């Protein structure tokens, strides 16, 4: 019991730090992918930022594991946390806790249920889409016979994948790019589906109120 409480407290304490670390990690990854000819000094700087933030994620996971009463059960139940620690670009998937705590801390009335679901699912989809566009651009833009040559192409591809439009005018051709693409399709279809569903029920509720007023 005692340990469980200490874990909860730990999670509450490190939350803002982890959020900052996630954004730093994404910034470092963005710079390294999008700016090809960094000066050696800057290159080292961003490499260190990547290493430090990654170490922070691993330390956090281990701390929570050690503060659990049943470590095996913790590992099994929080498999998503482990995955997100190994592949920090997937961090937005865990944002649901952060997002909720940030909302809770503020005093003024919170958003309506649908607006919260839309904000959470929409932000997560946007962050994952951006991360996927970076990863695919990184893998593809030097590949032979690639369609995706600029970061703009990659963002265009990511948007058409997230919304399941799928034009197919620019698609990944390398195995790694396609693995990222398959992941984005499945995660995107679920998150964007949640946004659409919430928007739809918000619209229905709004029209219903008008009808009663």
Site residues (vs a copy of itself, CB under 8 A)? 96, 100, 104, 110, 113, 116-117, 120-121, 152, 155-156, 159-161, 163-169, 171, 175, 178, 181-182, 185-186, 188-190, 192-201, 203-204, 206-208, 210-211
Output the six-digit token pair for 133: 């566009």
- Distance CA(116)–CA(178), nearest Å, equals 32
Smallest gap from Cβ 19 to a copy of itself, in A, equals 18
Smallest gap from Cβ 65 to a copy of itself, in A, equals 21
93-to-15, 143, 147, 169 alpha-carbon distances in Å: 15, 29, 28, 28
Smallest gap from Cβ 173 to a copy of itself, in A, equals 8
Which of residues 30 and 174 has its CB atom nearest to a copy of itself in the complex?
A: 174
Which of residues 9 and 48 has its CB atom nearest to a copy of itself in the complex?
A: 9
Going by the DSSP 8-state scheme, the letter that residue 111 receives in this structure is P
Which of residues 27 and 179 has its CB atom nearest to a copy of itself in the complex?
A: 179
Smallest gap from Cβ 164 to a copy of itself, in A, equals 5
142-to-20, 81, 163, 177 alpha-carbon distances in Å: 32, 32, 26, 12
Which of residues 54 and 202 has its CB atom nearest to a copy of itself in the complex?
A: 202
Going by the DSSP 8-state scheme, the letter that residue 164 receives in this structure is T
Smallest gap from Cβ 3 to a copy of itself, in A, equals 22
- Distance CA(147)–CA(169), nearest Å, equals 8
Is the four-CA dihedral 193, 198, 199, 200 of positive or negative sign?
Answer: positive
């Amino acid at each position: 019991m005692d340990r469980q409480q200490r874990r909860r407290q730990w999670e509450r304490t490190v939350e803002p730090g982890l959020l900052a670390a996630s954004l730093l990690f994404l910034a470092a990854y963005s710079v390294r992918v999008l700016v090809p000819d960094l000066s050696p000094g800057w290159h080292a700087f961003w490499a260190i930022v990547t290493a430090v933030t990654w170490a922070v994620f691993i330390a956090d996971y281990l701390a929570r594991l050690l503060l659990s009463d049943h470590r095996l059960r913790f590992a099994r139940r929080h498999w998503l946390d482990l995955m997100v620690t190994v592949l920090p670009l997937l961090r937005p998937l865990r944002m649901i806790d952060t997002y909720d705590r940030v909302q809770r801390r503020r005093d003024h009335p919170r958003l309506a249920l649908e607006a919260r679901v839309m904000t959470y699912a929409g932000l997560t989809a946007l962050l994952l889409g951006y991360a996927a566009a970076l990863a695919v651009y990184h893998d593809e833009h030097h590949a032979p016979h690639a369609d995706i040559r600029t970061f703009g192409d990659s963002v265009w591809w990511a948007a058409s994948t997230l919304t399941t439009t799928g034009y197919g005018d620019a698609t990944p051709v390398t195995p790694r790019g396609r693995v990222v693409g398959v992941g984005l399709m499945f995660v995107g279809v679920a998150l964007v589906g949640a946004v659409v569903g919430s928007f739809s029920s918000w619209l229905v509720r709004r029209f219903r109120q008008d009808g009663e007023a």
